[in-house]
Structure 1
Amino acid sequence: MPKINGNEIRPGNVLEHDGGLWAAVKVSHVKPGKGGAFAQVELKNLRDGRKLNERFRSEDKVERVRLDQKDQQFLYENDGMLVFMDNETFEQTELPADLLGERRPFLQDGMVATIEYYGDEALSVQLPQKVVCKVVETEPVVKGQTAANSYKPAILDNGVRVTVPPFVGEGEDIVVHTETMEYSERA
């Protein structure tokens, strides 16, 4: 595993620190008036979700971990476990549904997701950046309201609440960002 200096840590890096795997969420470089410069790093534990704020000086060595990424197809959910299939070897993998958190409703049958592995252990699931959903409930379209920069609430076919522009009606397909859970465009 490559070791990097404390001032080389970037957001998104995965580090081995205090016997655990941590992802750098935020990094800010601080140069106080007295003393040496350091990097203030907000870390998130990839196994249990704990957060930690740590200071790393440039002379500190940290072990950077490389994760293997595999595209796998979602098959079904069984007792809180998501079953994915590797498209090359056809092996099936069971992962806990809480790995996705609040993005779980966007996972659709047959969808290909990217799963990050550390050795044989699955640490995270990344959904496609945008998915198509159907609006099942929203307020009716009112003529003349389209010019205003206003949004109205809508409920999607997967139960997620989003805000949509006034011209979007019930039964329409829209594209939603899976990370921000916001309306993107009409499908």
Structure 2
Amino acid sequence: MAVEVAANIRKGNIIEHTDGHLYSVLKAESFRPGKGTPTTTIEMRRISDGTKTVITTKTQEKLEKAFVEEVDHTYLYQDGDNYVFMHPETFEQIYVSGAMVGDMAPFLQENMTVILQMFNGDPVSITLPPRVTVEITETEPVVKGQTASSSYKPAMTDIGVRVMVPPHIDAGTRVVVNTEDSSYLERAKD
């Protein structure tokens, strides 16, 4: 275990909380008021059962950061509530629970390389590639008078995720989407 100052905790880190359980950090924000003590609010999910917790600590307070190994794996398929990943060199298959994958599940594509954070040989967290290419299946019509630079319209993708896209994007267009917040990045270059 490594000791880390609360201000340095980032999304995706695995920390051991005072209750002895491992938690995956979902969001961490530091707040520095003009007067008073700076604080860090950390939203995290308990790895063992998926319970979400939010803690607020002093920014300089020390937290135990678990040593996790980051290993590339290839996504194979969904098996019931679990997702199956394969180690590219040993061909060992690992089952990851749907609760751990969470709202990232629609972005998983066959043969996609992801990073699994492993603690004592068990997966504790998953990191997807930062961007994924999807196809727009339907969009709303453009409102007359809208300019391309200032407004976006809702669109549905082939993976079932809603994305706000520029007015010139129509159904059938392939676009690149940010996997972290489901935002439109650019038109695909393929």
TM-score (norm 1): 0.82
Question: 1:87 offset after TM fit, Å?
Answer: 0.3
Residue 44 (1) aligns with residue 44 (2):
yes
Cross-structure match for 2:9: 11
Identity within the alignment, %: 35
Cross-structure match for 1:63: 64
Q: Number of aligned pairs?
A: 181
> Any residues of structure 2 matched to 1:8-157 within 5 Å, and which?
9-12=7-10, 13-17=13-17, 18-23=19-24, 25-28=28-31, 39-47=39-47, 48-55=50-57, 62-140=63-141, 145-157=146-158
TM-score (norm 2): 0.81
Label 1:126 to 1:159 Cα distance change in 2 as closer, same or farther (>3 A): same
In terms of mean alpha carbon deviation, does 73-82 or 46-55 score higher? 46-55
Question: 1:167 offset after TM fit, Å?
Answer: 0.5
Label 1:106 to 1:68 Cα distance change in 2 as closer, same or farther (>3 A): same
In terms of mean alpha carbon deviation, does 156-165 or 48-57 score higher? 48-57
Secondary structure of 1:100's counterpart equals helix
Q: Which runs of 5+ in 2 are unaligned?
A: none
Question: 1:46 offset after TM fit, Å?
Answer: 3.8
CA-to-aligned-CA distance 1:45-86 (integer Å, 9 cap, x gap) = 34124213243586x664331211011000111111100000
Taking the aligned partners of 1:96 and 1:61, their CA distance within structure 2 comes to: 30
CA-to-aligned-CA distance 1:68-127 (integer Å, 9 cap, x gap) = 101100011111110000001110001112222222111001101111111122111111
RMSD between aligned residues: 2.7
Question: 1:171 offset after TM fit, Å?
Answer: 0.5
The structure having more radius of gyration, on CA atoms, is: 1
Secondary structure of 1:103's counterpart equals helix
Q: Which runs of 5+ in 1 are unaligned?
A: none
Taking the aligned partners of 2:147 and 2:6, their CA distance within structure 1 comes to: 48
Question: 1:158 offset after TM fit, Å?
Answer: 0.8
Label 1:23 to 1:139 Cα distance change in 2 as closer, same or farther (>3 A): closer
Label 1:139 to 1:44 Cα distance change in 2 as closer, same or farther (>3 A): closer
